[in-house]
Amino acid sequence: MIWTASMIIMFISSIMISICTIISKKTFMDREKMSPFECGFDPKTSSRLPFSLQFFLIAMIFLIFDVEITLLIPLILIMKTIKPMTFSVIIIFFILILVIGLFHEWNQGALEWTY
């Protein structure tokens, strides 16, 4: 019974994959699709804009600090189960690491937006 059901599933899956492949056949060498498009005219400048490295650095710093903040959330849940002194030491150590990282980024100039 399991073998029959798996064969039916494989048959239906292969038919669906074949139909999707036939329906979605695209020509990659089509001239209109390969040419740049800007309101019907060829673009006057490059269609690719240079990526701002400063924006990338700020986004990475935000991501790192955002993940570290999510690491603080479970500490709220364990606050009642551990000693207050231990909890205070853990929180102070964690926030100290965050502040040291912030000052390091500041000294490296990653937080200064240059034009």
Residue 95 and residue 17: Cα distance in Å, rounded?
Answer: 53
pLDDT < 50: residue spans in the chain? none
Residue 107 and residue 110: Cα distance in Å, rounded?
Answer: 8
Beta bridge partners of 101: none
Domain ranges of the chain: 53-108
Residue 61 and residue 110: Cα distance in Å, rounded?
Answer: 9
Q: In this structure, is the dihedral angle defined by the CA atoms of residues 105, 106, 108 and 109, taken in order, positive or negative?
A: positive
User: Are the C-beta atoms of residues 36 and 42 closer than 8 Å to each other?
Assistant: yes
At residue 32, the pLDDT reads: 60
Question: What would the pLDDT profile of 88-113 be if each residue is shown by its tens digit?
Answer: 898 899 889 888 988 888 888 777 76
Q: In this structure, is the dihedral angle defined by the CA atoms of residues 8, 13, 16 and 21, taken in order, positive or negative?
A: negative
User: Are the C-beta atoms of residues 105 and 60 closer than 8 Å to each other?
Assistant: no
pTM (2 d.p.): 0.46
At residue 16, the pLDDT reads: 92
